A = this chain, B = another copy of it.
């Protein structure tokens, strides 16, 4: 019971923090503000999070877990199918980041001045690059991908995703980001896949 209450408190703090960070910005939202919005004591806050920065990193992790779940859920789908499914999830991720540009920039700026926070901030990029590299190796083994360099291909996928994400928060109305993400991934996949495996049958199987 105590454990469950702890998880609930943690969840309430994180939910309140998203609201306060979005409304007031990362700098202006204080731990006090977050505590009163969540209805918890400062003692409870510091039991769960070492600092405001640690809380923000926790939100970042939560937010990235969707991608991990998608990869785990992919199960027996081929690698191109999995990548298309992950791309379809990207616009939801983007939408939740809209209008929060200031918050992100403020956090990155603070993080860039603190080495250990910075390390934790960039860790996800390296994590996803490794995961994508493993996926590409699986694609080569299963015969859907050409004999490409797995690390370079993983980096290309990650850079495309990071670029789409940054541009969509910088310029939300500059494009239909959902359609843009899908089409961009299709072009990259066409460059990675064996010619024989591209075609209507692949596209149909990508939906299941």
Contact = CB atoms under 8 A, between A and B. Distances in A.
A157 to B, nearest CB: 9
Instruction: For the complex of A and B, list the 10 residue pairs with the smallest distance between their C-beta atoms, beginning with the closest.
Output: A191-B191, A163-B163, A159-B163, A152-B183, A190-B191, A156-B184, A162-B163, A105-B109, A187-B191, A159-B164
Given A109-B105, A188-B188, A189-B191, A183 B170 contact: no
B156 A160 contact: yes
Interface stretch (A6-14, A41-49, A51-59, A171-179): A171-179
B112 A184 contact: no
B156 A188 contact: yes
Contacts of A126: 171, 174
Contacts of A175: 155
Given A106-B109, A108-B105, A162-B163, A152 B174 contact: no
Nearest to A155: B180
Q: Identify which of A106, A149, A190 gathers the most chain B CB atoms within 10 Å of its CB.
A: A190
Interface of A: 101-102, 105-106, 108-109, 112-113, 121-122, 125-126, 148-149, 152-153, 155-156, 158-164, 166-167, 170-171, 174-175, 179-180, 183-184, 186-192, 195
Contacts of A195: 195
Given A160-B156, A195-B195, A112 B122 contact: no
A182 to B, nearest CB: 9
Contacts of A192: 187, 190-191
A184 B154 CA distance: 9
Contacts of A166: 162-163, 166
Nearest to A182: B152
A135 to B, nearest CB: 14
A167 B171 contact: no
